[in-house]
Structure 1
């Protein structure tokens, strides 16, 4: 049961990071998106677009790692070392990124919690399974 919960949380964390990728790398110039990230205006969004594009791909790569880990662990069962290892690395990296975000200022605490909660729970459950 713990293994199934770990996979669910890992899958949700991967999905969240795909959404973040879409916002940062595909939809960044839309006011609804850049305002969500605290960008002041369209000019600032245009200037920060290359940075957001790159950052979005980091999120996508973490999501892909977690997704592959979920698949490997699901197919082979809880005895699959590669799937668990990939999950722990990907989820741990997501949690670490969320912790780094908290060092950027108090206004980033809420986004860090949003970004880090699902992978943190998935990480703990994966260790426990």
Structure 2
């Protein structure tokens, strides 16, 4: 159970690294515009906001990786729970405010990791 929990925590972290790259570096290019269905003008107008959002996704990923690398099992569990709850709340808000699909894409792996982490603890 611990292995599955850690795999889903790692998957969630890797997804957030992907979100960072997409929002900070690919936003105005063809990939970013295609994923978010934006025109060049829309992408350019929101570039700074997206980069800020990408940075926050990077912080979430860093916290999740920290939880996997921390040698203190009690503190590592606290880190996992904190950052997985943060990702889940962000996904719920994103689903409510932007697009319901965000709950599945961003929240799905985090919620599964959270459940597995709770079951493993």
Partner in structure 1 of residue 54 of structure 2 = 56
Note if 1:65 corresponds to 2:56. no
Secondary structure in 2 aligned to 1:103? helix
Secondary structure in 2 aligned to 1:120? helix
What is the deviation of 1:34? Answer: 2.2
- Counterpart CA distance in 1 for 2:5 and 2:36 is 29
- Counterpart CA distance in 1 for 2:5 and 2:54 is 24
Partner in structure 2 of residue 23 of structure 1 = 22
Note if 1:103 corresponds to 2:96. yes
Secondary structure in 1 aligned to 2:12? helix
- Counterpart CA distance in 2 for 1:98 and 1:24 is 16
- Once the two structures are superposed, residues 70-123 of structure 1 have per-residue CA deviations (whole angstroms, 9 ceiling, x without a partner) of 112xx45xxx11111111111111111110012125xx1123211111111111
Partner in structure 1 of residue 41 of structure 2 = 43
| Unmatched 5+ stretches in structure 2 | none
Where do residues 73-92 of structure 1 align in structure 2 (5 Å cutoff)?
A: 75-76=71-72, 80-92=73-85
What is the deviation of 1:47? Answer: 0.7
TM-score, with structure 2 as normaliser: 0.93
What is the deviation of 1:17? Answer: 0.5
What is the deviation of 1:31? Answer: 2.1
- Counterpart CA distance in 2 for 1:81 and 1:38 is 43
| Unmatched 5+ stretches in structure 1 | none
State the Cα RMSD in Å: 1.2
Q: Provide runs of 4+ in structure 1 moved above 3 Å.
A: none
How many residues of Structure 1 are paired with residues of Structure 2 in the alignment? 120
What is the deviation of 1:38? Answer: 2.9
